[in-house]
Amino acid sequence: MRRKLAAGNWKMNGTSATLTELQALARSYPAATVDVLICPPATLLHRAADAVKGTEITVGGQNCHAAESGAHTGDISAEMLVDAGASSVILGHSERREDHGEQNEDVRAKARTAMDAGLKTIICVGESLEQREAANTLDIIGGQMSGSIPDQSTGENLIVAYEPIWAIGTGKVPTLNEIGEVHDFIRARLERRFGEGVGRSVRLLYGGSVKPSNAADIFAVSNVDGALVGGASLKAQDFSGIIDALQKA
């Protein structure tokens, strides 16, 4: 059985004051029946880890460097994330692919280092609107998966997030059939590459404008094991609506 996961990505949002949202979540879910992960900006990671101590909520990073350490001004290593209390790291988010030109091989190198450091890696894949309209979605996702996911992946250290770029922060969501088609495709690819056991144990998240009002429908789609949530993870009340829907799914 794959344990469901509600993961929040705060992106470049949040200062000390925002930790009250996390404290509220920690009070509401001392023992959730699903995994709950919040990925705040790196500046808050240590304090965020303290805020959720003693609960089942964990915290994670939004990126890490492919090297273990060294002369990389401004970057953060996987070991530093672990040291700050992170359980997980998001890699290959489309905003990093777009803003920083990250290629599949960069994501794969980061994922290897993160897995070696003991982090769970959430590897993001997703098509642009242009690619969807040209009926290239599955080719794009397949290419991103082969290029970004390392060979050492297991159901423990790998989570794949399907995030159509055109759905992120836009309020637009693919149809449930479209979400199901891509999730079934990702599952089949994982089983083919890693064998049925591992392929079936990797959790698959949907991400892109998930809100309390659409979460239950999305969580009913086959092979959707949870969500990666941006905007709606910033407020404890909104994120709680999503966690509650996942607990009922």
Catalytic site residue from 21, 95, 163, 183: 163
Q: Find tokens 């060979």 and name the residue.
A: 151
Stretch that binds ligand PEP, among 71-79, 112-120, 146-154, 229-237 (CB under 6 A): 229-237
Please give the residues from 188 up to 227 whose contact with ligand PEP meets the rule CB under 6 A: 207-210
In angstroms, the CA 121 to CA 46 distance is 19
Pair of tokens at residue 90: 């998001």
Closest approach of Cβ 244 to ligand PEP, in Å? 17
Indicate whether 169 belongs to the interface with ligand PEP (CB under 6 A): yes
The residue from 4, 5, 6, 9 that contacts ligand PEP (CB under 6 A) is 9
Please give the residues from 27 up to 46 whose contact with ligand PEP meets the rule CB under 6 A: none
Rank residues 107 and 199 by Cβ distance to ligand PEP and give the closer one: 107
Indicate whether 231 belongs to the interface with ligand PEP (CB under 6 A): yes
Rank residues 117 and 165 by Cβ distance to ligand PEP and give the closer one: 165
Stretch that binds ligand PEP, among 64-72, 80-88, 99-107, 163-171 (CB under 6 A): 163-171
Rank residues 169 and 195 by Cβ distance to ligand PEP and give the closer one: 169
Indicate whether 159 belongs to the interface with ligand PEP (CB under 6 A): no
Q: Is 72 a catalytic residue?
A: no
Per the CB < 8 A criterion, the answer to whether 196 and 228 are in contact is no
DSSP 90-118: EES-HHHHHHS---HHHHHHHHHHHHHTT
Indicate whether 168 belongs to the interface with ligand PEP (CB under 6 A): yes
DSSP 13-78: ---GGGHHHHHHHHHH-TT-SSEEEEE--GGGHHHHHHHTTTSSEEEEES---SSSSSS-TT---H
Indicate whether 174 belongs to the interface with ligand PEP (CB under 6 A): no
CA geometry: angle 116, 98, 177, nearest 5 deg: 85
DSSP 77-91: -HHHHHHTTEEEEEE
Per the CB < 8 A criterion, the answer to whether 114 and 90 are in contact is no
Indicate whether 150 belongs to the interface with ligand PEP (CB under 6 A): no
Query: Phi and psi for 59 in degrees, rounded to 5?
Result: -120, 160
Q: Is 163 a catalytic residue?
A: yes
Catalytic site residue from 93, 95, 102, 127: 93
Rank residues 153 and 209 by Cβ distance to ligand PEP and give the closer one: 209
State the CB neighbour count (10 A cutoff) for residue 71: 6
Rank residues 79 and 111 by Cβ distance to ligand PEP and give the closer one: 111
The catalytic residue positions are 93, 163
Given the rule CB under 6 A, which residues bind ligand PEP? 9, 163, 168-169, 207-210, 228-232
